[in-house]
Structure 1
């Protein structure tokens, strides 16, 4: 509901300055009256000694008031004009930073998030507000760019299996003699990948929203469950899978945290040496933090590649697999989303001998 425009803040401040100045003037004149004029007599008898001059001014209250009142009124009028003009100027100078922030907010409202205020001068309340607003715009711009990039990548990834399915169906329709078993098998593989990608996108969205029921969870039990599930895959690839450490309790979604641990262990197994590799999963309680570490052998990773591994659909060239465990490019992105939803931190560091060390820190519970 629109409201009628009210008095501007600058006008209110100018009137406030003028009002306070007028009040100070009235109080000063009242003090003159109370402490000076009230002690001046209203009437007096003048005794002139013989030979003394009889002309001059004798201060009595009526004479002083007759002279003082017009000048006091003039002073109050001057204070009123000075308060209005000076208050208007001072209010404009004080509110100038707020005008900059308002203009930046309107610019951002027009979907131009690249604008920054970058207010100069000494650090005061307006400068802190400006810096906070710039930081918010930077985060919003980064988030919007990430969402746009994610949407473009997701649409591309989903379009690929659909296009393959359509091509297979067109080939089967044009060539009725073609082996249907082969077509069905390929369609099944393509549809399975599309379903996996859709489920991964839904899981990523659920982690980003943070809407889940929290319960007490022990990361060590989740690590053992994930290792037991992926043990056949590790044995198939001749990779040693060990779980060490003790209890590491935290509060969160057991389903999401299990998916987090499973993704980390599966990545560690898949992106490893062709044979003779190792994966170590370690859990511990470090003060008020529950720690999960997943370390694996593998090829050396370039340092500039590691920070990009948590971005959706970003795969390092040396980490791409073409077998049945190629994944959809969302494994570490889902891990990052789940960790962030649980107010934790995710750290990826390349091992000097090759492979990756992933450290997850979550708020611990007693």
Structure 2
């Protein structure tokens, strides 16, 4: 945005320092003038008894005082301008470093840090806050770049498969069309699932949703009922327990969160005879849901990466129902959008425990 240029902050501070010094000097001279007037008569005292003597009157005082006061004010003005310019430059030096860092960030250089030295004052707090913002922004940009690269790869895969199937069908006129249609339908469904997951993830990251009272225990029941046929088809058992867990948020997004948690626990479970545990409850200031499952043993290093986009875990079971690799990523984004926390913990003996903690509904926290 083009705006008319004005005087710099340094010039404004310099004029302010000089003006304050001039006002203080004028007040001081005024006090001295009033003090002297108390002891100087209006007219010259004539000769009296004894030797003749001359006593200055106020006119004499004015002729002697005013020129020297003017010179003093001029000296104060010069001192105020020079001293104010130097002092303001020293005071604004940290701001110049912050401005330079801001310009570098605007040009795309997020690795630069201010690292302002000295005691903790307003400028130091501003610089530290800006450095923390740059750290988070750099991490966010790096995460988005990785996500974009992974998403492009994942979206390109079904398109490449579709192209290959169509080329094979064109070269082989005797190929069974029903088989081709079935395979194209499967590949297309995977592409649709991935696209819908990306849309949900984008909506959660934007935080563009209305907040309403939501009970996580009801979301858990609905998700469990929806996914029960999938669990039964895999020979799994789902156990639910807990108490009402009220929070504020988007019902659609929180249902998506709960569904992803339960679905993830089902498809990454033991081949048969596994169990999924879904528990809800409240703490002093949080409403939470915990979803646990049986499965292979997971190392802490693997668990730390499970919420990254398109990371399914190198040791986890892969099937046709493993999804598009965005289940826990969507859970994490929805949790962040609701000011909550996601905790992933490997279970002793195998499997994973996932806990989502969200702010408790205000009427239950005294808010």
With normalisation by structure 1, the TM-score equals 0.94
- Between 1:10-19 and 1:208-217, the stretch displaced more is 208-217
- Tell me the residue number matched to 2:77: 80
Per-residue CA deviations over 1:40-95 (Å, capped at 9, x if unaligned) read 12311344636xxx7x8744433333322222111111100000000000011111
Are 1:189 and 2:186 matched, yes or no?
A: yes
Match of 1:117 among 98, 114, 119: 114
Q: How does 1:278-317 map to 2 (within 5 A)?
A: 278-317=275-314
User: CA 1:63–1:178 in 2, change beyond 3 Å: closer, same or farther?
Assistant: same
Q: How does 1:12-31 map to 2 (within 5 A)?
A: 12-31=12-31
- Tell me the residue number matched to 1:176: 173
Q: How does 1:227-242 map to 2 (within 5 A)?
A: 227-242=224-239
**Alpha-carbon distance in structure 2 between the residues aligned to 1:326 and 1:248:** 28
Q: How does 1:19-98 map to 2 (within 5 A)?
A: 19-41=19-41, 42-47=43-48, 49=50, 58-98=55-95
Q: CA deviation at 1:353?
A: 2.2
Per-residue CA deviations over 1:196-249 (Å, capped at 9, x if unaligned) read 111111111111122223332221122112122222222233322100011111
Match of 1:340 among 322, 328, 336: 336
Match of 2:356 among 339, 354, 360: 360
**Alpha-carbon distance in structure 2 between the residues aligned to 1:4 and 1:248:** 56
Q: CA deviation at 1:4?
A: 2.8
Per-residue CA deviations over 1:249-297 (Å, capped at 9, x if unaligned) read 1222222111111111111122122233221100112233211011112
Q: CA deviation at 1:117?
A: 0.6
Q: Which runs of 5+ in 2 are unaligned?
A: none
Q: CA deviation at 1:20?
A: 0.9
**Alpha-carbon distance in structure 2 between the residues aligned to 1:355 and 1:96:** 56
- Tell me the residue number matched to 2:156: 159
Are 1:136 and 2:113 matched, yes or no?
A: no
- Tell me the residue number matched to 1:258: 255
Q: CA deviation at 1:345?
A: 1.2
**Alpha-carbon distance in structure 1 between the residues aligned to 2:22 and 2:54:** 32
With normalisation by structure 2, the TM-score equals 0.93
Secondary structure, aligned partner of 1:123: coil
**Alpha-carbon distance in structure 2 between the residues aligned to 1:93 and 1:57:** 54
Q: CA deviation at 1:320?
A: 4.6
Q: CA deviation at 1:360?
A: 0.9
- Between 1:287-296 and 1:23-32, the stretch displaced more is 287-296
Count of residues in correspondence between the two structures: 361
Secondary structure, aligned partner of 1:291: strand
4+ residue segments displaced more than 4 Å: 56-59
Matched-pair contact (CA < 8 Å) for 2:44–2:54: no
- Tell me the residue number matched to 1:201: 198
**Alpha-carbon distance in structure 2 between the residues aligned to 1:311 and 1:265:** 18
Q: Which runs of 5+ in 1 are unaligned?
A: none
CA RMSD of aligned residues (A): 1.7
Are 1:270 and 2:270 matched, yes or no?
A: no
**Alpha-carbon distance in structure 1 between the residues aligned to 2:183 and 2:297:** 34
- Tell me the residue number matched to 2:104: 107
- Tell me the residue number matched to 2:209: 212
Secondary structure, aligned partner of 2:13: helix
